[in-house]
Structure 1
């Protein structure tokens, strides 16, 4: 799910009793918003704070960067007593308001991120299981109708926590895979093989299909290239999640074949009626294709992203950088040299410095202060400059992964 779509879905969820899908994110914090020091990004976090933080930390871990302690603490501090996470809460010092909507997507993303960092996530997983719908799937918020995106990201969370998604059954005996199959379109006809967002609300087909391909595989947001799909790009009748995943990937390969990117229709009321390139969902599609073993079909959209996505990531911040890092990782590309852009440095620059960099800065400052008091023949200003260069070189050179903390989540 792209940053815009994710924020849009949360906006409508908070605004309606139905608590389901779409609207628009705030491009920047309101004048009264005080941005938390541990949070990645500068945009208004109301609808995507937990989501973008989770993706940022997960992407850092994926490339061997050890996130800042304050960034991880900010994320864990967003959790409510029940184990669920809201999209964002401004005052984490207070208990969650009973009326605060909890967010299955934010919770599932947080589980994937924190599990990768070595955190205990049992409480959050328990909450996700407690709000599973009768059809085996999940809606954006508890009580909402199941959708392909939410069901898929929760499947990824269950897998990250060590559970077997196929064994997580609703009170009606349905599994998450049972739910996903209800969103899969048959081969032939318009959008054959794709996954719709909901049966009565197709939504952005590329978005829901990219998510559902991974969900149907039982995988989360971070994947590596799968074995070559022996079925190629032929859509076949499917009665299993594995077959539906193949068909979904075939749909994506076909949709990307001409231009190398997916498109998004104009927002309601937009003066420009032309479709626009959809960077985020194209990145997600690359991940899905690589995971399915359609690496050849992923090359063209990957190249398009390398050539065109840098400005998009810079404008949209941490979750956008994370999506591109996931695409690079899945396809074997170098996220530090992605079409000439260092995605890792870009992501790190949107929030608190990772632990290696911040620790090096502290040590360099101490050394600089110590040396400035010695009669070395160099002025304090010269030593300060040397210290700056030292910090820059060390901060760029050391990458670590993992953070173990025995905290009940």
Structure 2
């Protein structure tokens, strides 16, 4: 989900939730109509990735950036991790962003299931954050809807994107999403099935955002395909799907995931990319390539085992995504790194762009880069190579025994 779409989703979800809240509603379901104002970009916290206004995507983009770094072997800066954990509310939930981390969260601050789920996935990957993860998982469980799914904000109607990203968080934390049964007796996979379109007709095989609010179907479909496999934002290619790009009647989430993959493969087949309809209220109504959702679709196709169908889109991304990522910021670079990882592509040479270096440059310098990690590994291997150590000792002893001690000493002194 790109920043622009996330901003629209936050506003839409908050507005819908605010309209639905009544005085007797539980405190967890209350929300303001929009997130509180954030500081201008000039005073954006130093631990945060990106320099644009974080009001709508601060936690989201930070989580994706840290998760992408971990995926490629980069150890993030400590203050970047501290910034993310500092955004957590006492309940374990995360808002989209809060400017003041000096005290408890404002009770009127809207809580964000997507941001919380993304943060869980990042913190699990980084390790050492068990307490924060457990609190967030407990909160996510507590706001599961009766239909088995999750809404953008607690109390909001379930949607495919939120349900899917929460499934990924639960799986990352060691939970079993299929056993996460709601008070209504439904699992998250039951909820996903309600968003799946039947084969044939408009958007056949796709997952809609909500039954009464289709939204950007490619976005919700990519998310749901991954969620149906119990995967998170980072995936590796699944076993080859023998069904190919043919939609078939489905009664399970996995079956619907196949159909979702078939929908995406068909949508991408002609040009290799998806198109983005104009944002509501936009003055430019031109249909343009949707880079972010194309990247997410590549990840989804890989998870589904439709890697051959993803190749054309991967090639298109390598040729066209660099400028979009540079303009869009850290979450965009993360999306491309996830696509590279899912397809076994080198993220340091993605169509000539080093995605890892570009992502690192959007925030605080990491503790270790990929190169540093490789060098550290080489040093460790040398230390552990006892055979080489023994032969150096034997050689030195032999040299000394034949009177070459002076020569050996001289060589040692001449080494840099």
Query: Which interval holds the TM-score relative to the shorter structure?
Result: 0.7 to 0.9
Deviation readout 1:170-210 (Å, 9 max, x if unpaired): 11110000000000000011110000000000000000000
Q: Which of the pair has the greater relative contact order for Cα pairs under 8 Å at 6+ separation?
A: 1
Q: Does 1:164 align with 2:176?
A: yes
Distance 1:85 1:30, change over 3 A: closer
How is 1:46-125 mapped onto 2 (pairs within 5 angstroms)?
46-118=55-127, 119-120=129-130, 121-125=133-137
SS in 2 for 1:186: coil
2:262 aligned to 230, 233, 250, which one?
Answer: 250
Q: What is the rounded CA distance, in whole Å, between the counterparts of 1:302 and 1:198 in structure 2? A: 28
SS in 2 for 1:277: strand
- Structure 1 residues 270-279 or 108-117, which shifts more? 270-279
Q: What is the rounded CA distance, in whole Å, between the counterparts of 2:101 and 2:34 in structure 1? A: 25
Q: What is the rounded CA distance, in whole Å, between the counterparts of 1:95 and 1:320 in structure 2? A: 30
Q: What is the rounded CA distance, in whole Å, between the counterparts of 2:136 and 2:65 in structure 1? A: 19
2:223 aligned to 211, 220, 237, which one?
Answer: 211
8 Å contact from structure 1 (residues 64, 399) kept in 2: no
Distance 1:77 1:269, change over 3 A: closer
Distance 1:124 1:31, change over 3 A: closer
Q: What is the rounded CA distance, in whole Å, between the counterparts of 1:32 and 1:310 in structure 2? A: 23
Q: Which residue of 2 aligns with 1:375?
A: none
Q: Which residue of 2 aligns with 1:200?
A: 212
Distance 1:24 1:128, change over 3 A: closer
8 Å contact from structure 1 (residues 249, 292) kept in 2: yes
2:279 aligned to 267, 289, 297, which one?
Answer: 267
SS in 2 for 1:259: coil
8 Å contact from structure 1 (residues 133, 170) kept in 2: yes
**Displacement after TM superposition at 1:5 (Å):** 1.4
**Displacement after TM superposition at 1:273 (Å):** 2.7
1:316 aligned to 328, 331, 341, which one?
Answer: 328
Q: Which residue of 2 aligns with 1:7?
A: 7
Which structure has the bigger radius of gyration? 2
Q: Does 1:185 align with 2:197?
A: yes
Deviation readout 1:207-258 (Å, 9 max, x if unpaired): 0000000011111000001111011111110000110100000000000000
Distance 1:234 1:47, change over 3 A: same
**Displacement after TM superposition at 1:15 (Å):** 4.7
Q: What is the rounded CA distance, in whole Å, between the counterparts of 1:233 and 1:399 in structure 2? A: 44
Q: Which residue of 2 aligns with 1:361?
A: none
Query: 5+ residue gaps in structure 1?
Result: 358-392, 401-409
Query: 5+ residue gaps in structure 2?
Result: 21-28, 378-416
Q: Which residue of 2 aligns with 1:135?
A: 147
Deviation readout 1:299-351 (Å, 9 max, x if unpaired): 01100000000000000110000000000000111100000000000000000
Q: TM-score, normalised by structure 1?
A: 0.84
- Structure 1 residues 296-305 or 10-19, which shifts more? 10-19
Deviation readout 1:96-140 (Å, 9 max, x if unpaired): 111111100000000000001112111100000000000000000
**Displacement after TM superposition at 1:8 (Å):** 2.0
Greater percentage in helix = 2
SS in 2 for 1:330: helix
Aligned residues: CA RMSD: 2.3
SS in 1 for 2:289: strand
Q: What is the rounded CA distance, in whole Å, between the counterparts of 2:121 and 2:19 in structure 1? A: 26
- Structure 1 residues 317-326 or 30-39, which shifts more? 30-39
Distance 1:292 1:31, change over 3 A: closer
SS in 1 for 2:43: coil
